[in-house]
Amino acid sequence: METATKLKNSYKELKENFSLLSDEPMKNHTSIKIGGPADLFAMPETQNEFVNLIKIARKENIPLTVIGDGTNLLIKDKGIRGLVISTSRFKQDIKTTRIDPETSIITTASGTKLSVLCNYAIENNLQGIEFAAGIPGTVGGAVAMNAGTPESSISEIINSIKIITDKGKIKKFNKTDLNFSYRKLNNISGIIIESSFLLKSGDKEQIKTTFNKNLNNKKATQPFSLKSAGCIFKNPRKTEPAGKLIDMAGLKNAKIGDAIVSEKHANFILNLGNAKCEDILRLKELIEKKILNLYSVRLETEIVIKGE
């Protein structure tokens, strides 16, 4: 494969023990367990490896896709051309900087799991991130998608981010530089490698109680442990969220191939075992058309769809 050969020839400058996979099935790296092969797949563990991979890909004009844990991601059946970089092994210790007795900044790499960051905040008596209980994926993905709930979102607690630009430069952006909207960071072109969050001091037991309440609610109302990519659609409005509209339309348990609309929460499409991306997309289109016809609401996709 020309793309693979080109990158591998340029790859010698990186650490010898750094693994680069060819034709890697992306279903192994998405929570919905769907996706064709990536030409090349890398899981860098350090910032230096991350930056070098990006520089090489840009220099050789190799298409580049960066993912986190694949929790909000649907990969098409023919896979992804070029290089896919997963941040899931790019982690660092979480650092705390105390601003004053009531306020601290916690900082970590993009590959740190959001759940790990939440637990760290609890153990250090810091509040403000309890809304993220049960939200899967990495910190970098959560920032890029402005992950959240009706109670709050990442944009409310973000302090700063560091990114790698297309030219391999590292730049820092403070909160005032960032423009967030519903499930999106709008104005930054680059790959997030580090994020910091501003949290308040609080009582550990109260923080833990709020966190567990949010987590239990998510488990009770969503197909928490099943194969999905999370909510398929953005909520068009708070009074009538997408799941409610889909439920009202009688589409719970609607099925195409091995793809099925969740009975527990209608804004989730599940992979029963052997679903293809095409099954998910056809079911998604069926939902969109019916909601538009019944309620004159045009649903907007929340999940990220990549590949061909």
Domain assignments of the chain as residue spans, ordered by start:
2-86, 95-219, 223-306
pLDDT over 50 (residue 17): no
pLDDT of residue 14: 41
Q: How confident is the model at residue 182 (pLDDT cuts 50, 70, 90)?
A: confident
CATH class of segment(s) 223-306: alpha beta
251-264 CB burial, b ≥16 within 10 A, e <16: bbebebebbbbbee
Asked if 79 contacts 26 with a C-beta cutoff of 8 angstroms, the reply is: yes
pLDDT over 50 (residue 16): no
Nearest to 225, CA basis, from 33, 91, 76? 33
Alpha carbon 182 to its chain centroid, in Å, reads: 14
- Lookup: tokens for 4: 């693979």
- Lookup: tokens for 144: 């890029």
Percent of residues, the chain, with pLDDT higher than 70: 94
pTM: 0.86
Q: Alpha-carbon distance 14 to 204, whole Å?
A: 43
3-state SS class at 271: strand
Q: Specify burial of residue 144 (Cβ count, 10 A radius: 0-12, 13-18, 19+).
A: buried
pLDDT over 50 (residue 168): yes
Q: How confident is the model at residue 2 (pLDDT cuts 50, 70, 90)?
A: low
pLDDT of residue 18: 54
pLDDT of residue 175: 94
Counted residue by residue, the chain has a size of 308
Q: How far from 48 is each of 45, 75, 107, CA to CA, in Å?
A: 9, 27, 18
pLDDT of residue 9: 60
Q: How confident is the model at residue 63 (pLDDT cuts 50, 70, 90)?
A: confident
pLDDT of residue 189: 83
Q: Alpha-carbon distance 6 to 152, whole Å?
A: 45
Q: Specify burial of residue 125 (Cβ count, 10 A radius: 0-12, 13-18, 19+).
A: middle
pLDDT of residue 289: 97
Q: Alpha-carbon distance 8 to 23, whole Å?
A: 13
Report the helix count and the strand count for the chain, using DSSP H and E.
8, 18
- Lookup: tokens for 44: 């860098």
CATH topology of domain 95-219: 3.30.465
Q: How confident is the model at residue 15 (pLDDT cuts 50, 70, 90)?
A: very low
Q: What is the DSSP string of 27-75?
A: GGGSTT----EEEEEE---SHHHHHHHHHHHHHTT--EEEESSSTTEEE
User: What mean pLDDT do residues 94-113 have?
Assistant: 92
Catalytic residues: 183, 231, 302
pLDDT of residue 305: 95
Residue 170 identity (one-letter amino acid): I
Nearest to 72, CA basis, from 149, 153, 135, 157? 135
Q: State the average pLDDT for the chain.
A: 89
> Which CATH code for domain 2-86?
3.30.43.10
pLDDT of residue 28: 95
Q: Specify burial of residue 250 (Cβ count, 10 A radius: 0-12, 13-18, 19+).
A: exposed
- Tell me the backbone φ, ψ of residue 123, rounded to 5 degrees: -65, -20
pLDDT over 90 (residue 105): yes
Q: How many Cα atoms within 13 Å fall on the side-chain side of residue 167?
A: 2
Could you say which DSSP state residue 14 is in? S
